[in-house]
Structure 1
Amino acid sequence: MESSQPCRIFEFHEILSATDNFDESLVIGHGGFGKVYKGNVFKGSSHVVAAIKRLDSMSSQGEAEFWAEIEMLCKFRHCNLVSLFGYCNHEKEMILVYEYMPNGTLEDHLHKLDTGLSWLQRLKICIGAARGLDYLHTGTGIELGVIHRDIKTSNILLHESWAAKISDFGLSKIGPTNQPATYVNTLVKGTFGYLDPNYFTTGKLTRKSDVYAFGVVLLEVLCRKRAVDRSLDEGLVTWAQDSIKNGNLKDIIDSDIRAQISTKCLKEFVRIAERCLLNSPKQRPTMAKVVVSLDSVLTLQEKANGSLQVAGKTMFGRMFDMFPFPSNRDNSAISSVCINAADYIVGAHDNSRNSSLKVLKFSDLERATREFSEAFHLNADGFSDVFLGWVDKNTFIPSTEGVGIPVAVKRYHIDDPQYWQTEVTILGRLTHPNIISLLGYCDDKDKYLVVYEYMQNRCLHHFLFTDARDVAKPLSWETRIKIMIGIARALAYIHSLDNQVVHRDVKTTNIWLDKEFNAKLGGFDLAKFGPKTGENDATTCIKGTFAYMAPEYAFKGLVSVKSDIYSFGVVLLETLTGHRALEFDFGLVKWATSVLADISELKKIIDPYLGQNYPVEGAFECVALALTCVAVDPKYRPSSEEVLMNLERIYVIKR
């Protein structure tokens, strides 16, 4: 909560100069607060474009809202929150200076401009806004969080890259985050149409009031109708809910995007909105769950668009029926399962099919990988090797190099199908942008293989510890944190499922990188369904890589989602330091803990390949986060959601 973002005080003459004495031609927006001008200001030694908001003396907003905005944006920072450069408080003038957002507001593009936002653009904007709101609720600190109180499309600003940023914190409230039912008795404030009915009638303000407002935003994005639309007698929410109840879901969609949305994607998106708009605040999801669900919808849509879509059948339908994997529609409890060969009886192929995966022949995969040529070798671990293969995009028939599409073929070199079964069973049901996509499998002639999407930059291990460091350009600070954010998102997803999944083998060789260095978590052959939140599951089959293994799991057989957090902490330390987990006699964790006495010791920790090209404050916070993740007692480790929020905050620290 200490000031983490420089917020300077502008002199009034600087504001006059930047706006040409408030020239009307520079007005780029206006609302209940007054007018917003586009102008150039100094930020440090640089001249930057800014949005300058001048509070109108006749505005219903006043000094309290002005100082609330400054308090919020000077304390909190996130890539999905608008940045406050500073403010001017001169006599009766109250002026706020923000970063300039070239693409205006989401409201502009939905209701005023003929922009033609695609469905994918709208979905990504929703995800960005959801991440910003989740940060406010849970990521601003251990004890304090923010209730925005005025989430609406006009307060979602769009960067030139169309990234969404939440703005306007004049009505926001700070309150504890460790009490799910926290509320503040206060005068009801907000915007009609987005107001939580429970808040309106009881005066009890909770974070779930923001969730309700976000549900209204989701409907606006889908239907392109205002929250209070004159053509709708009952308002957007009631109209949409009635239409859905009457089976007219497709009729409410904006006609411009109707043909772009897959049926499955539409149903899941609407389900998220419906849950956000439930009457009981307790039944509404947290914003963390909304983020995870929207990420899954995005992946579903991208698959439907053909980027990862493959045809074919799989033999695992029966197994999925035996141990149903929870979806957004299934809240039933599933008993904790340690997946191994004895858990399943693999039946005949004809009665156990799942159309999401492709069944492949060993001979075809052998040809696709040039007989598992060493030249095509990508990665290896204790019981498998991964090879590059080339196949036809539609049929998966082997093709020549450079023709068709590249895939990653994982070949298990042990007779026991246990690990292969686990990978196909669990990974075949996971859908998330930061989890490797399983395309197919082979169990032909007792040969066990799986086929993934191909990741052009191989695995993180390759860039941290091999000769590639001397050949390729070393990973920058920003890229390293971006990779860690991706894996934190993957863990937040699998840990947030109704029946949690524990990965059990988070390590650098299981972190795959695409051509843009977006990270995807793979290696689910040791994963298992986890215990209930906050509980441990005792197991006698301890599996994983010892250097990354949490002590309570390695020595007592107690496994939980906090076991993954420990492993992630080790990976984070490796990523920051460039040292392997077992490089020191007593291990990387103890070495890092002993060296990091204070910030002056930081250079002894950070990878020398980075030189001085990293923010000292951000690096120190990142190392501190890693050491929290590897706490000996699991209860002191953060959740995956808390890890994600902290990394996203660290990512934007520039000093």
Structure 2
Amino acid sequence: MTFSTSDREEYTPPSSSSVQGSQPCCRFEFDEILLATKNFNESLVIGHGGFGKVYKGIIMIGSSLVKAAIKRLDSMSNQGAAEFWAEVETLSMLRHFNLVSLLGYCNHEREMILVYEYMPNGTLADHLHKLGTPLSWLRRLKICIGAGRGLHYLHTGTGIKVGVIHRDIKSSNILLNESWAAKIADLGLSKISPINQPSTCVDKIVKGTFGYLDPDYYATGMLTRKLDVYAFGVVLLEVLCRKRAVDRSLDEDQWGLAIWIQERIKEGNLRHIIDYDIRGQISPESLKVFVRVAERCLHSNPKQRPTMAEILLSLESALILQDKFNIPFEGFRKTISGRIVDLLPCSFKGKISDIYYDPYRSESKFSSDCKTINETAVSTDLADNTLLPETIENSADSRNRSLVIFEFDDLKKATRNFSLDLFIGRGGFGYVFLGWVDTNTHAPVESSDDGVAVAVKRLSIDSLQGLEEWQSSITI
């Protein structure tokens, strides 16, 4: 149940400049909406939430016909103008791969309609609880990471001047595109929050969804990013157990999934809470990291909960550990990882996974353009990875330093033809190999005795990434 209050009649919409924000947002005529939904034909209904029904439709944007999800305010909804304009204003100034894009809106008399990009794979909640869709542990991990990236973007205000508290994170507000990439949706209850303030205000009326609601927020009304972290922790448990946030099949006095699982963890009864379909797939190390971060998200003291950046790091680590479990030559990786740690300067005190952690890596659809770069790899000097952000920002030369363009044959030599002996990692882009190049000429050499160690990341043919992400990494 989602609860909130609003007054559809008295709410004053933002100014047009505020609504438009920094991104184009179409204002559709009501006749266009009627045409797109065939006069709100019930056969086109694809969902229903606290705001109202959602219809699948085809709408004209510029000179193109675009598939869209069209959400119409229900006259009986407890949401209204406040939530409608909050969504329009917030999403108009936000753009991120892991956020559902707002294509436009319609405000006609008492009709309030939001038009979004269409997500063909629907909601995470439907796949977990209604459709019984087979979801591997790897796919579940990647969905969690994608949703986490979207929420991290909201919290940190990346690309905008302020951050956003979502206030209604739940599995039904995580949508999946044709490639199963996760996108955060429904910012109707969101609150803009300055990124340099730990909290924004005290809510007189608590808003959210039972089962995901942070007990501290419910008790104090204190609005902080950590209430989203708590809700995200519940989503992580849903993904692991395939049980609803409020589930009557649980113990009679523990219908709340968060409380039920915390009790099972205390009892050391972890294996039996895992969804039966994935019990044989999960690496014990990956499971341990995943459960630990979920448990931290649910800490009773909001200050003890992790940030979304910390959560993403843990989830990426869980994914790497699962990859190690799945790859038959795990021994090779352990050996090479040990070699790399030995090569790092003493000042580096992070984990080997920190080198490859990229919280903004996209999960966008594999492009046909990738055929032109199948024989392309990017080399990164490991020593440069030890630079702190402050050091990089304060170095005038670092921003203007030209990158070395390597010949593919040289990288083959540096990595011994991408030998499995030198395999050190795997991510969404592809495989990472250890190699060595001459410090001055960057020509391939045999070992660290002759040059500097580098990590060479090679695009995998089955990756969901491609030319766009490759070029973005180089540019940034």
Instruction: Spell out, residue by residue over 1:464-508, the C-alpha distance to the aligned partner (whole angstroms, 9 max, x if none).
Output: xxxxxxxxxxxxxxxxxxx99559xxxxxxxxxxxxxxxxxxxxx
User: How much has 1:134 moved relative to structure 2?
Assistant: 0.7
Instruction: Spell out, residue by residue over 1:214-254, the C-alpha distance to the aligned partner (whole angstroms, 9 max, x if none).
Output: 00000000000000001123110111011111111111000
3-state SS of 2:197 partner: coil
Q: In structure 2, what is the Cα distance between the partners aligned to 1:359 and 1:224?
A: 34
Distance change (3 Å), C-alpha of 1:267 and 1:242: same
Distance change (3 Å), C-alpha of 1:515 and 1:486: farther
Alignment of 1:310-389 (within 5 A): 310-311=331-332, 356-357=334-335
User: How much has 1:150 moved relative to structure 2?
Assistant: 0.1
User: How much has 1:425 moved relative to structure 2?
Assistant: 10
User: How much has 1:140 moved relative to structure 2?
Assistant: 4.2
Residue 293 of structure 1 aligns with which residue? 314
Residue 6 of structure 2 aligns with which residue? none
User: How much has 1:22 moved relative to structure 2?
Assistant: 0.8
Residue 119 of structure 2 aligns with which residue? 101
3-state SS of 2:48 partner: strand
User: How much has 1:176 moved relative to structure 2?
Assistant: 1.3
Residue 23 of structure 1 aligns with which residue? 41
Asked if 1:422 corresponds to 2:344, the answer is yes
Distance change (3 Å), C-alpha of 1:224 and 1:145: same
3-state SS of 1:38 partner: strand
Aligned residues: 378
Distance change (3 Å), C-alpha of 1:563 and 1:359: closer
Instruction: Spell out, residue by residue over 1:543-570, the C-alpha distance to the aligned partner (whole angstroms, 9 max, x if none).
Output: xxxxxxxxxxxxxxxx854114456983
Asked if 1:523 corresponds to 2:445, the answer is no
Asked if 1:73 corresponds to 2:91, the answer is yes
Residue 463 of structure 2 aligns with which residue? none
The answer (yes or no) to whether the contact 2:94–2:160 under 8 Å persists in 1 is no
Asked if 1:236 corresponds to 2:257, the answer is yes
The answer (yes or no) to whether the contact 1:101–1:158 under 8 Å persists in 2 is yes
Residue number among 269, 272, 293 corresponding to 2:290 in the alignment: 269
TM-score normalised to the size of structure 2? Answer: 0.72
The answer (yes or no) to whether the contact 1:175–1:182 under 8 Å persists in 2 is yes
3-state SS of 1:57 partner: coil
Residue 324 of structure 2 aligns with which residue? 303
Q: In structure 2, what is the Cα distance between the partners aligned to 1:29 and 1:572?
A: 50
User: How much has 1:304 moved relative to structure 2?
Assistant: 1.2
Residue 333 of structure 1 aligns with which residue? none
Alignment of 1:395-414 (within 5 A): none
Residue 321 of structure 1 aligns with which residue? none
Q: In structure 2, what is the Cα distance between the partners aligned to 1:207 and 1:201?
A: 16
Indicate the structure whose relative CO is greater, using CA pairs within 8 Å and at least 6 residues apart.
Answer: 2
Q: In structure 2, what is the Cα distance between the partners aligned to 1:46 and 1:175?
A: 36
The answer (yes or no) to whether the contact 2:309–2:359 under 8 Å persists in 1 is no
Asked if 1:249 corresponds to 2:267, the answer is no
User: How much has 1:299 moved relative to structure 2?
Assistant: 1.1
Any stretches of 5+ residues in structure 2 without a counterpart?
1-17, 363-372, 406-467
Instruction: Spell out, residue by residue over 1:93-112, the C-alpha distance to the aligned partner (whole angstroms, 9 max, x if none).
Output: 11111000000000010000
Distance change (3 Å), C-alpha of 1:13 and 1:572: farther
The answer (yes or no) to whether the contact 1:158–1:164 under 8 Å persists in 2 is yes
3-state SS of 1:310 partner: helix
Residue number among 214, 223, 231 corresponding to 1:205 in the alignment: 223
3-state SS of 1:431 partner: helix
3-state SS of 1:256 partner: helix
Q: In structure 1, what is the Cα distance between the partners aligned to 2:359 and 2:185?
A: 26
Q: In structure 2, what is the Cα distance between the partners aligned to 1:569 and 1:277?
A: 44
Residue 390 of structure 2 aligns with which residue? 562
Instruction: Spell out, residue by residue over 1:440-477, the C-alpha distance to the aligned partner (whole angstroms, 9 max, x if none).
Output: xxxxxxxxxxxxxxxxxxxxxxxxxxxxxxxxxxxxxx
The answer (yes or no) to whether the contact 1:486–1:519 under 8 Å persists in 2 is no
Residue number among 154, 168, 178 corresponding to 1:160 in the alignment: 178
The percentage of aligned residue pairs carrying the same residue is 61
Instruction: Spell out, residue by residue over 1:64-101, the C-alpha distance to the aligned partner (whole angstroms, 9 max, x if none).
Output: 11111101111111110000010111111111110000
Distance change (3 Å), C-alpha of 1:44 and 1:172: same
Asked if 1:121 corresponds to 2:139, the answer is yes
3-state SS of 1:29 partner: strand
Q: In structure 2, what is the Cα distance between the partners aligned to 1:33 and 1:124?
A: 28
Alignment of 1:485-524 (within 5 A): 515=374, 521-524=380-383
Residue number among 59, 63, 68 corresponding to 2:81 in the alignment: 63
Q: In structure 2, what is the Cα distance between the partners aligned to 1:519 and 1:298?
A: 22
The answer (yes or no) to whether the contact 1:423–1:523 under 8 Å persists in 2 is no
User: How much has 1:307 moved relative to structure 2?
Assistant: 6.5
TM-align CA RMSD: 3.4
The answer (yes or no) to whether the contact 1:37–1:52 under 8 Å persists in 2 is yes
Name the amino acid aligned to 2:335.
L
The answer (yes or no) to whether the contact 2:124–2:176 under 8 Å persists in 1 is yes
Question: Which structure has the bigger radius of gyration?
Answer: 1
3-state SS of 1:259 partner: coil
Q: Which moved more, 1:230-239 or 1:559-568?
A: 559-568
TM-score normalised to the size of structure 1? Answer: 0.53
Distance change (3 Å), C-alpha of 1:82 and 1:515: same
Q: In structure 1, what is the Cα distance between the partners aligned to 2:207 and 2:359?
A: 38
3-state SS of 2:260 partner: helix
Q: In structure 1, what is the Cα distance between the partners aligned to 2:104 and 2:156?
A: 25
3-state SS of 1:51 partner: strand
Name the amino acid aligned to 1:562.
E
Name the amino acid aligned to 1:293.
S
Q: In structure 2, what is the Cα distance between the partners aligned to 1:218 and 1:572?
A: 42
User: How much has 1:571 moved relative to structure 2?
Assistant: 5.6
Q: In structure 1, what is the Cα distance between the partners aligned to 2:305 and 2:211?
A: 18
The answer (yes or no) to whether the contact 1:434–1:520 under 8 Å persists in 2 is no
Instruction: Spell out, residue by residue over 1:4-47, the C-alpha distance to the aligned partner (whole angstroms, 9 max, x if none).
Output: 32101101111111111111111111122211111111122111
Residue 284 of structure 1 aligns with which residue? 305
The answer (yes or no) to whether the contact 1:128–1:163 under 8 Å persists in 2 is yes
Distance change (3 Å), C-alpha of 1:194 and 1:566: same
Instruction: Spell out, residue by residue over 1:260-296, the C-alpha distance to the aligned partner (whole angstroms, 9 max, x if none).
Output: 1100000000000011110111110111111122111
Residue 642 of structure 1 aligns with which residue? none
The answer (yes or no) to whether the contact 1:208–1:284 under 8 Å persists in 2 is yes
